């Protein structure tokens, strides 16, 4: 069974000092990976990770995840290779097909069809693999929800990221998959992997370390009204309860879904720290 890894996805812009302090905090709290999202209006991933490398010593650095349609494959590969070299080989490359239509329109990029967005992603991954034939390629994370994306990830990725979301997330609202839907996606990945050993990652969307679990789940329900309070309490993407209880929940998730790498959002950076301490 794979050991746990914990990542945090950073996205809030700030000064150089503020950004470096956040990255150092993540390392000091025991996180294994600092990731940077790729959304308009947020921090630019490559320069942000280069600054993260300067601020830290141990932690891995991940694009979590690049929107393949936003980037020219050849230019992106050049930038990622330079980032990995300057970061001392700590880079992990995460790539997705993109899912926010408004951002495509704002960038003047054709939204197109799901098939066209998938083709763009394949082009980027192919160019990365070609460019790194003469040197070690950074580990590759591919994330998504659909059959086509997960099948491709099973063939090419070192880490497969399960989004834990349901249809509706693309419209900018938080729509979480229920437990059965997430389990079905994890089972699908295991089938298409066909015995290949790949790390599984899951984005955790809500963390509250508290003795009042019911109140925390009611707060989560306000953010995710399409699921009931009790149902939210059963989700692997919602962590609510004491540090001991959440640690036990993550152990169960690793056992049942095969997920060993969990990523939280920046707002939950400090919240998960007591759980990381118990599981590392």
Share of the chain above pLDDT 90, in %: 93
Tell whether 236 is covered by a domain.
no
What pLDDT is attached to residue 173?
63
Tell whether 218 is covered by a domain.
no
Tell whether 141 is covered by a domain.
yes
The answer to whether the beta carbons of residues 68 and 96 sit under 8 Å apart is yes
Rounded mean pLDDT, 22-38: 98
Higher pLDDT, 275 or 171: 275
What's the mean pLDDT when you consider all of the chain? 95
Of 118, 19, 140, 137, give the one whose Cα is nearest residue 67.
118
What pLDDT is attached to residue 248?
98
Domain that holds residue 167: 5-205+247-279
What pLDDT is attached to residue 16?
97
Q: Is the per-residue pLDDT at 168 higher than 70?
A: no
51-90 pLDDT, tens digit per residue, is 999 999 999 999 999 999 999 999 999 999 999 999 999 9
Q: Is the per-residue pLDDT at 169 higher than 70?
A: no
Q: Is the per-residue pLDDT at 153 higher than 70?
A: yes
Q: Is the per-residue pLDDT at 230 higher than 90?
A: yes
CATH number of the domain to which 61 belongs: 3.20.20.30
Q: Is the per-residue pLDDT at 172 higher than 60?
A: no
CA 147, chain centre distance (Å)? 18
Predicted structure pTM score: 0.96
- Confidence band (pLDDT; 50, 70, 90) for 262? very high
Rounded to 10 degrees, the C-alpha dihedral 239/222/64/276 comes to -20
Q: Is the per-residue pLDDT at 162 higher than 90?
A: yes
127-144 pLDDT, tens digit per residue, is 999 999 989 999 999 988
Tell whether 262 is covered by a domain.
yes
Q: Is the per-residue pLDDT at 171 higher than 90?
A: no
Of 65, 213, 47, give the one whose Cα is nearest residue 139.
65
Q: What is the phi/psi pair of residue 246, to 5°?
A: -70, -40
Higher pLDDT, 166 or 274: 274
Tell whether 237 is covered by a domain.
no
CA angle 122, 123, 124 (to 5 degrees): 90
Tell whether 223 is covered by a domain.
no
Q: Is the per-residue pLDDT at 40 higher than 90?
A: yes
Q: Count of domains in the chain?
A: 1
CA distance 88 to 234: 40
What pLDDT is attached to residue 23?
98
Share of the chain above pLDDT 70, in %: 98
DSSP 8-class letter at 236: T
What pLDDT is attached to residue 175?
87
Q: What is the largest CA-CA distance in the chain?
A: 54
Tell whether 233 is covered by a domain.
no
């Amino acid at each position: 069974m794979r050991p746990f890894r914990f990542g945090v996805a950073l996205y809030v812009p700030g000064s150089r000092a503020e950004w470096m302090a956040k990255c150092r905090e993540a390392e000091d709290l025991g996180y294994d990976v600092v990731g940077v999202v790729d959304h308009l209006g947020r921090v630019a991933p490559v320069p942000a990770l280069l600054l993260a490398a300067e601020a830290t010593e141990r932690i891995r650095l991940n694009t979590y995840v690049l929107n393949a349609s936003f980037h020219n494959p050849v230019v992106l590969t050049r930038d990622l290779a330079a980032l990995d070299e300057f970061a001392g080989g700590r880079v992990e490359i995460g790539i997705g097909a993109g899912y926010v239509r408004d951002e495509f329109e704002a960038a003047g990029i054709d939204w197109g069809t799901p098939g066209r967005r998938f083709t763009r992603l394949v082009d980027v991954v192919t160019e990365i693999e070609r460019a790194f034939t003469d040197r070690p390629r950074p580990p590759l994370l591919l994330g998504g929800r659909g059959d086509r994306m997960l099948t491709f990830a099973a063939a090419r990725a070192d880490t497969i990221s399960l989004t834990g979301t349901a249809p509706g997330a693309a419209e900018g609202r938080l729509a979480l998959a229920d437990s059965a839907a997430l389990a079905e996606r994890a089972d699908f990945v295991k089938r298409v992997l066909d015995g290949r050993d790949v790390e599984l990652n899951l984005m955790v969307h809500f963390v509250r370390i508290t003795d009042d679990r019911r109140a925390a789940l009611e707060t989560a329900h306000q953010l995710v009204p399409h699921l009931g309070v009790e149902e939210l309490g059963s989700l692997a993407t919602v962590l609510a309860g004491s540090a001991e209880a959440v640690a036990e929940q993550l152990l169960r998730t690793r056992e049942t879904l095969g997920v060993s790498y969990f990523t939280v959002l920046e707002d939950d950076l400090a919240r998960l720290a007591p759980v990381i301490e118990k599981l590392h």
